Amino acid sequence: MQTFFSPGEITRGGLLVVATIFMILKSKLWLSSYNIFLAVLCILLLVSVLIAPNFPDSLLFDIKAAARVLYGPFVVLVFLALIKHYDVSAERLLFYVEISFYLIGISLLIQSFFDIGKDTYGSYAYGFKGLFKPQNDIGLSSAITLAAALYGNLVKPSFVRLIMLCLAMLGVVGMGTRTAMAAPVVVMMAIILVVLIARIASFERSGRPLRIYPKTFFLIIIFPLFATFYSYSLATGVSIVPSFLDDVFHNEAEALFPSGAKNTNVSNINTDPITTTKARGTAKPRATEYQKMKMERTAKGVVYRKDLLDGAVKYTSQRPIAYDFFGEGAYSFRSNVAKQWPNFAWGKQKYVEMDWFDLYGEYGVLFSILLTLFYFYFLLLAVFYFFTSKKVEFGVFALMFGLYIAHSLIAGHAMNSPMVSTLIAAIIGFLLFFRSSMEKIET
């Protein structure tokens, strides 16, 4: 069991302290209900930690895990204060989120090109995550921030924006996770739907008429389709692009990586310049069988998280009923989940990778329901403001919440991910600020 704090944990701890100070000192009437909600979450978490069967040995592990879950709701207060102080508009906030996508995607592309970092799954499978450790978290973060990037390119296009979008998408799909590879097409279709609804209903963009540029609209459809389909082709070894395009990319690979851009001695090898890395001057190919198997299983509706869920349900049905209400702490629950697969090399703890069940197992049914409803509330609030304020930015916010909640329910790595929660917390902070502004106008 680890007994030290990582730089990220120290940073999160500092932000939690700052957020707690805001909660205590800035508890105005319109935020009092939010403060009470945070206090209830803390009490429920404290109970689960204290009644954990491994207490006090598991105390440090459980504190770290609890901090990850509380980080999002608490850091909302920090974003709220910043948004209020600097009077950040919805359009400006989306621009900041858009920049995050470019930073994530282009940094992945650069790291892949220079072979800085690690493979997503290992040398046996397509995918490169660079220096980013949690690929699922960065994949979801990319999907959420991509919504802002596509929106920005649709309503305010520029050549620089389009180039950055293209490069960033190549970096993201190169991670090889299903979320990262599917995100361009899924988010593209969703953002176009949001913008078209807003355009047909004559909604505004930050007080100005909403305009759609046909040429950019066409490119916003083509770029994500090509990125997703070509990455799928690379990952699985199944050719789904015209052969002349495939030759163009592989010829480019020969020029960039002459030591091994084409290896005819190994079957199912990916040699694309974007996703093939160089190790000490020698091109390192990635096999495609693992990714092909994952895609086939997904297409058949077979997802390994169902196996995790079945094992977790079996375990929770046998544990004391008190743990169902108040949980047993992260260390105990994850350890017992991992024991359901003794032959798997997953270590001593394992997520179910469905946030609602992980929260239920670790902190009890009350905590799981409260936190899940918390995010659903702000999803509905964003949808409500989209139609009542007639501002398209709220539709983009609603899409981001939809991506966050959908991934949380079926693939996890959302509510317990500080990286992803930071993005959502910023949007929640803005929604709270907007709500308070509306209430002041009405009174």
- pLDDT-derived band at 327, boundaries 50, 70, 90: very high
- pLDDT-derived band at 406, boundaries 50, 70, 90: very high
53 within a domain of the structure (yes/no): yes
199 within a domain of the structure (yes/no): yes
Three-state DSSP class for residue 212? coil
CB 232 within 8 A of CB 238: yes
One-letter amino acid identity for 181?
Answer: M
Three-state DSSP class for residue 127? coil
384 within a domain of the structure (yes/no): no
194 and 263 assigned to the same domain = yes
**Full domain range(s) for residue 76:** 1-87+303-367
144 and 265 assigned to the same domain = yes
30 and 103 assigned to the same domain = no
Contact partners, residue 195, CB within 8 Å, separation at least 6: 151, 154, 155, 210, 212, 392, 395
Listed in sequence order, the DSSP H helices in 364-417 are: 365-388, 392-411
- pLDDT-derived band at 442, boundaries 50, 70, 90: low
397 and 259 assigned to the same domain = yes
Residue 432 has pLDDT above 90, yes or no: yes
5 and 133 assigned to the same domain = no
124 within a domain of the structure (yes/no): yes
200 and 287 assigned to the same domain = yes
Q: What is the pLDDT of residues 340-357, one digit of tens each?
A: 776 655 557 888 989 999
Cα separation of 88 and 80, whole Å? Answer: 10
398 and 307 assigned to the same domain = no
344 and 259 assigned to the same domain = no
23 and 124 assigned to the same domain = no
- For residue 181, give the nearest of 121, 247, 225 by alpha carbon: 225
151 within a domain of the structure (yes/no): yes
Q: What is the pLDDT of residues 246-289, one digit of tens each?
A: 554 444 444 433 333 333 333 343 434 333 443 323 334 445 66
140 within a domain of the structure (yes/no): yes
pLDDT for the residue 381: 97
Query: How many domains does one find in the chain?
Result: 2
Per-chain mean pLDDT for the chain = 79
CB 76 within 8 A of CB 425: yes
